[in-house]
Structure 1
Amino acid sequence: MALREITESDYPAIQALHRSVGWPERSLAGWRWLHANPARLDIGAPAGWVADGPDGEPAAHVGNLIQRFRLGERRLHGATGFNIIVTPSVRGTSRRMLQTFTTQPNVFARYTFNANSKSQPLYVRHGMRSWPEQTHAVKLSWVVSPLPLAISKVWRKLYGLAPKAISGLGEQLMNDRLGRTPRLSLPPGVSLLDDFSDASPYAAFWSALTQDGRLLADRSPEIQRWRLQDPDLSEPPLTLAFERDGVMVAYAMAMMAKSNILEPPVLEILDLEALRSHADAIPVLMTALKDAARIMGAAKLRLSVVTPEAMARLRDFTRTARNEGGWGHCHVQFATDAPNTALWSPTPYDGDYAICLRPIPLDAIHHGARRPLRTSQTASKA
Structure 2
Amino acid sequence: MNELEFTVLTDTQLDIVKATVPLLENGGEALTTHFYRLMLDEYPEVRPLFNRAHQASGAQPRALANGILMYARHIDRLEALGPLAAQIVNKHVALQIQPGHYPIVGACLLRAIREVLGAEVATDAVVEAWAQAYRQLADLLIAAEGEVYDALAQAPGGWRGARQFRVVRKVPESAEITSFHLEPADGGPVLAFEPGQYIGLSLIVDGEEIRRNYSLSAAPGRRGYRISVKREPGGVASNYLHDRVAEGDTLSLFPPAGEFTLDGQESGKPLVLISGGVGITPTLAMAEAALEQGGRDVVFIHYARNAQVQAFGGTIDAWAKRFPRFKAYVVHEHPATDAGRRPDATGRPSLAQLRQWLPAGGDCSAYFLGPKPFMAFVRRALRELGVPDSQARYEFFGPAEALN
**What is the TM-score with the length of structure 1 in the denominator?**
0.26
Q: Mark the structure with the bigger radius of gyration.
A: 2
Higher RCO (C-alpha under 8 Å, 6+ residues apart): 1
Hey, which of these two has a bigger chunk of helix by percent? Answer: 2
**What is the TM-score with the length of structure 2 in the denominator?**
0.25
